[in-house]
Every structure is written in structure tokens, then in C-alpha cells.
Structure 1
Amino acid sequence: MKILFVGDVVGKIGLDTLENYLPQIKQRVKPQLTIVNGENANGGKGIKVEDYQRIQVAGADVVSGGNHIWDKREVMDFIDDPGKKILRPYNYPGKNVPGRGCIEIKVNQKKVYVINMQGNALMQPIDNPFYAFDELLPTLDKDAIKFVDFHAETTSEKIAIGNYLTGRVSAVIGTHTHVQTNDAHIFNKETAYLTDVGMTGSYDGILGVKKEPILNRFLTQRPNKFEVDDDGRMQIGFCVVDINDQTNNARSIHNYVINPDNKKFLD
């Protein structure tokens, strides 16, 4: 099974980019399942129902989240809708957290779990993701494919999770830092791994945000209001994971970035 995963969609330019490129990518890759991280879709922080709908119409089967999932109050109006395949991190504390952190879907009669989990290092404190995986995984069908979006800040925590889950899930793909890493590989011929898949949004900003406020922050050490760069050129980061339906082990993982300086994928 081929699974296409697209990195953090940031703002209007991210949504425009997704609508422009995702159909072309899917035509080339022919994935059986497409997952898109959409937690930054609305102005860089949060997601509204209209953003979810645009991502879905563009070609996403599942929309994953992260630390900004609650930033728009409107998310509470649809995150519990069983007809909407949207995720928030599984390990938010408490017994009655809205939404879900794991979704089960069928792809050609093959069961697939998409899991959204958030890291702790340099992030707001939530439940320990290592223990959360220990709690969740035994409750899932052992014969199913398990694909993880691990939304975290530090490379060390992401790599640690990749090692911790080797042989227990089919893929661990990192999100949140918006810069694609060059370390796609398969742990022990079992679990596909990538520290960060990158972002979908402005190529000319800084992590999708306008440059000037960030530069002023570094130069003056005074607060500056950050704004999403919706006027720059486009980029999209994604990866393709091929998983053996019989063993649930990853066969290959390839990561790509399409931007004004690199359009080879579409040639």
C-alpha cells in the first residue's frame, strides 16, 4: 500500500498550494491513502471547517493536527463529527477530550490506523507520548497498518520515538518544524521514518511566516507580531511510504519538496 503524507499546510497560500499540487502529485504517485497535516491551515494557527473542506476536496483522506488544533474555537463545532476524518494529538490529558487521536479506516479491505501524537520536549506539557503509545497500541488490531504523525519540536525526541516504535507501527513521520529533513529510512526493515516532512506554504517566508517580524525579533529581542506570508512563492513538502499489506512492514520511503527551485518531481 502506498501512503502519501503532506506536511503542515500553512495559511491561505498553503491551501492554494495544496489545491494546485496535490492532484498532480496523486496522479503521479497513485497512493491508496492520502494524509495531510492541517493544524496551521487558518492563518497559521488552527483550522476551521472551511479549511478542512478545502483540504479534503484537494485530495486528503485524513487530516491530522498538532499543538495548534484548538486555536480556532470553531474547531469544536466539527471535530467530534464522525463524518469528518480529522485528528488531534492522542495524548492530550483528561478523559473527555474532544475529537480523536486515532482513526481506523479501510483501504481495499485492509485496516489502517492513522495515529496523531504530540511530543513533550520544548512543547506545552501534555501526557507522555511514549506511555501513550504503550496504552494505545495494544488496543488496536495487530494485523493492521499503523501510520503515525508525530508532531514534535526536537529531533532527538522524534528519533527516540522512531526507535521506540520500531516493529510496532508501519511508519513514523515527523511534523511541526516545517523544514524537511534528509533522513528518510527504515528502522530494522520494519518501520519507515522521517524526522520532519516539511511544510506546504510560502517558500519566501520563514517557516511560512513573513520574514521582517522574525528578523526584527532576533535583532531587537523585542516582541513582534508574526504574520503568515500569503504573498510569497509556493512550496510543498511530502513523502511516500510503501507498506507491505501482508507483513505491515515498510518497503520504502521517499521524501520530496516541490518549490520554485526544484520542480523535478513534476517533470
Structure 2
Amino acid sequence: MPVKLLFIGDIIGKPGREALSRELHRIVDRHYVDLVIANGENAAGGFGLTAETAQDLFKCGIHVLTSGNHIWDKREAVEYISRSDKIVRPANYPEGTPGHGATIARTPGGVKIGILNLEGRVFMNSLDCPFRCADREVAKLKEETPIVFVDFHAEATSEKTSLGWYLDGRVSAVVGTHTHVQTADERVLTAGTAYITDVGMTGAFDSVIGVKKEEPIYKFVTQRPAKFEIAKKDIRINAVVIDIDETTGLALGIERINIPCGS
């Protein structure tokens, strides 16, 4: 039997958390999911993660949280993040950065899953090279398991696609996060790595990438600062289900999910 992973796109604030609390168990049962991973860097009020919101997400059935550049937005959570092996931050941050860039999770059946988080550099922070970091981190994870999942938190489609091809055949999946817009290019690459440029977001779609429409529009029109607030209408869950061969670690398939959850 293949291992089935569910990855949930960027969770945006309370609306996203509540949608998962209501719907996640149904998705897991419908797709026979073995392990649930989600990007949680925007789960607390739309910016950052707290210990409380992380624990709520774990209680609703998420096993591991990945993140990105907003993981540091809640300063009070840094100590919690640094201690937890169920939360990963981009591995290509400088040496000495709190937290873990990769982790090993186990399915209920005992299968080990390597999970790696990386952040892009195009239109993003000036970090270590995610490609060379991936070489190092993937090699370490594959000493323990052939199954390696990569969340690449990046802005540019070209950078995401390049990493997908760079790691093709060496990891089970490369999925993109950060832009909050689900792309329709999910596929298994030629050497067996599942890929999608962006999984999308879990939150309000009557919005501009999860926040109330009026505020970013005002900022673009006036070029003046605006305080963003989380939107609450047209809630959807964006995710992918990935089938992986337990022995080879190669992907057998990837399915894109977009589930309306009401207002």
C-alpha cells in the first residue's frame, strides 16, 4: 500500500483554523490519509504562529507544521518553536537560528517521513542557497527514510519549478507555498517527484490573499501604509494528497483539493 500524505496550504488566521477543525477529519477519512502536514506561518491572526494556535492545530489532526518568513512574527512563540520537533522553519536560515529546518515524523503504521522546509531568495530574504541547503538536508533525512517531503516557501514560480526539477528523483515531493494562490500544475515529474508550484491557502477567498480587500487596495492606490485584517467570507481549504511508494520513496500520484467550507 502507498503512503498517503495530506499537505494543507497556508492556514490564514481563525477562519482557516476553524475550517480545519470542522472538515479535516472528513478529508483524512475520504482520502485514507496517513500523515497530515500544513503550513502554519499565518495561523495566528494572519501573521505568525503562537504556542496556543499550534496546539489547536495539532489537536484537530495535523501532525507537523511547516512555515516560512512569517514564522517569527509572534516573538512570544520563538521559544516554543525552538523546542518543538513538530514545527519546522526554513532550513536555510543562518546557523544558530532557533528551531529545526527538518524533522522526521511517523505514520500510525510506523513509516518514517522526512519533512524539510526551505525558503526562496527571489523577492524574498537574503538567505543561504536553498538548492545547496537541500543537498545537505535531503542526504541527512535519507539516512533514515526514503520518503522526503519538501515545502518550498518562495515567491517566484521559476525558482519553485527549478527546485522541483533539481530534486526530481531525490525526494518524494516538492510543494510550493507563500503566494496563497493555488496553481493547476500538479504532476509527478519524470524521475518520480510530485510537484505543484503553490498549494494555495486555507482561509477566506472573498479577500486579497486572505485579508480584507479594502486594505491592500487602499495601499496599492495611495502607496500609504494600511493595517491588514483577516477576511471571513467564502472559506475554502486548499491542499494536495500525495501517494508515495513506501519502499522507493517515489511519488505515485498527486491530487489537488479545493473545498468550499461556507462563510
User: What TM-score, normalized by structure 2, do the two folds share?
Assistant: 0.94
Task: Please say if 1:129 is aligned against 2:133.
Answer: no
C-alpha distance in 1, partners of 2:141/2:210?
A: 36
The CA deviation string for residues 10-61 of structure 1, in whole angstroms up to 9 with x for no partner, is: 1111111111121111121121110011000111110001100111111101
Task: Please say if 1:91 is aligned against 2:95.
Answer: no
- Equivalent residue number for residue 104 of structure 2: 104
The CA deviation string for residues 168-223 of structure 1, in whole angstroms up to 9 with x for no partner, is: 10000111100100000011141000000010111211100000011112222222
Task: Please say if 1:10 is aligned against 2:37.
Answer: no
The equivalences for 1:127-166 within 5 A come to: 127-142=128-143, 143-166=145-168
The CA deviation string for residues 105-135 of structure 1, in whole angstroms up to 9 with x for no partner, is: 2332322101111110001111110111122
Task: Please say if 1:216 is aligned against 2:243.
Answer: no
C-alpha distance in 2, partners of 1:186/1:193?
A: 6
- Equivalent residue number for residue 257 of structure 1: 258
Deviates more, 1:13-22 or 1:169-178: 13-22
Residue 90 of structure 1: SS of its match in structure 2? coil
Give the counterpart letter for 1:104 in structure 2.
Answer: I
Task: Give structure 2 stretches of 5+ with no counterpart.
Answer: none
C-alpha distance in 2, partners of 1:235/1:118?
A: 25
Task: Please say if 1:81 is aligned against 2:92.
Answer: no
Runs of 4+ in 1 over 3 A off after TM superposition: none
C-alpha distance in 1, partners of 2:41/2:139?
A: 27
Contact 2:6 2:241 in 1 (8 A): yes
C-alpha distance in 2, partners of 1:106/1:15?
A: 23
Give the counterpart letter for 1:133 in structure 2.
Answer: A
The CA deviation string for residues 203-261 of structure 1, in whole angstroms up to 9 with x for no partner, is: 211100000011112222222222221x3231110000000111111000000111269
C-alpha distance in 2, partners of 1:71/1:241?
A: 30
Deviates more, 1:158-167 or 1:23-32: 23-32
- Equivalent residue number for residue 243 of structure 2: 242
For these two proteins, the number of residue pairs brought into alignment is 258
Residue 253 of structure 2: SS of its match in structure 1? strand
Residue 36 of structure 1: SS of its match in structure 2? strand
Task: Give structure 1 stretches of 5+ with no counterpart.
Answer: 262-267
C-alpha distance in 2, partners of 1:119/1:140?
A: 20
The alignment-based identity, stated in percent, is 45
Cα offset for 1:140?
2.6
- Equivalent residue number for residue 230 of structure 2: 228
C-alpha distance in 1, partners of 2:142/2:217?
A: 48
Give the counterpart letter for 1:248 in structure 2.
Answer: G
Give the counterpart letter for 1:257 in structure 2.
Answer: N
Give the counterpart letter for 1:148 in structure 2.
Answer: V
Residue 139 of structure 1: SS of its match in structure 2? helix
- Equivalent residue number for residue 202 of structure 1: 204
User: What TM-score, normalized by structure 1, do the two folds share?
Assistant: 0.93
Contact 1:63 1:87 in 2 (8 A): yes
The equivalences for 1:113-124 within 5 A come to: 113-124=114-125
Task: Say what the alpha-carbon RMSD is for the aligned residues.
Answer: 1.4
C-alpha distance in 2, partners of 1:52/1:211?
A: 27
Residue 128 of structure 2: SS of its match in structure 1? coil
C-alpha distance in 1, partners of 2:137/2:192?
A: 19
Give the counterpart letter for 1:145 in structure 2.
Answer: I
Contact 2:91 2:101 in 1 (8 A): yes
Give the counterpart letter for 2:115 in structure 1.
Answer: V
- Equivalent residue number for residue 264 of structure 1: none
Give the counterpart letter for 2:242 in structure 1.
Answer: V
Cα offset for 1:141?
2.6
